Structure 1
């Protein structure tokens, strides 16, 4: 857990060095996992704005990348001074997700992004590991329940 915290802190400090002079929002990370009877390993990774902070952007709707990184395409034209750039937040989320998956060992062979969404104060990535669950995975991660996806 301390390594995960250190890795997350490194990602955010790097983002601070490359962004505007305003302080980025503090985000909390949560990984929810679920292993199905057929061996499919699904997850929802959430980056939640720490309580008491305003949301920078309202619903961008789901987007599917279908690969293990941010979706292709250019910027959606974030306005300077109007909150964090959604593309930068999404990139940070994928970096934090990769670190979390490496730390936990949940997706050892990579993952596919099924959907992404941003909403006021939250960014979420729903995905599936490319490998099927082993008995060790079932023992360690169980049949957890994923949060409801809207």
Structure 2
């Protein structure tokens, strides 16, 4: 597993048509990991995770689904889902730049799953190409 707390910050500093991010804005606030998994049949999988380092989670606070349940009981349902579109774009940008820099999925990838929350996100995928001997020596650990 390769950990690079500053990688996402540096990657996010790149210009994009949809997101312009100043690296100072996130300095020391983000960490990301890119884990590769090459199967014996040549299947190349990966998991990319990014999270806010100092996100405070108040364990005493009710979870969103608990809020909705309580509001439904009281007949006051004004819960709004948080807008995660900017955070999602940052995670996608970090993943795409990481894949580009490592050369792991040279022919693109298929997304298997994603989970995006307000302070963390992960995307799992499968490369469109099979592993070569070079890939196995470089990425499989």
Regarding TM over 0.5, the answer is yes
Q: CA RMSD in A?
A: 3.4
- 1:104 is aligned to 102
Question: 1:59-138 residue pairs with structure 2 within 5 A?
Answer: 78-79=81-82, 85-119=83-117, 121-138=119-136
- 1:71 is aligned to none
Q: 1:11·1:95 contact (CA, 8 Å) conserved in 2?
A: no
**Residues 10 and 54 of structure 1, relative CA distance in 2, 3 Å threshold:** farther
The CA distance in 2 between the partners of 1:9 and 1:24, in whole Å, is 10
Higher RCO (CA < 8 A, seq sep 6+):
1
The CA distance in 2 between the partners of 1:91 and 1:120, in whole Å, is 12
TM-superposed CA distance for 1:4, in Å, is 7.0
**Residues 49 and 110 of structure 1, relative CA distance in 2, 3 Å threshold:** same
Q: 2:43 aligns with which of 40, 51, 54?
A: 40
**Residues 4 and 27 of structure 1, relative CA distance in 2, 3 Å threshold:** closer
Structure 1: tracts of 5 or more residues without a match: 17-22, 60-76, 80-84, 145-150
Aligned length: 114
Higher gyration radius (CA)? 2
Q: Deviations over 1:2-45 (max 9, x none)?
A: 987533333698146xxxxxx66932121000000111100000
Structure 2: tracts of 5 or more residues without a match: 58-62, 65-79
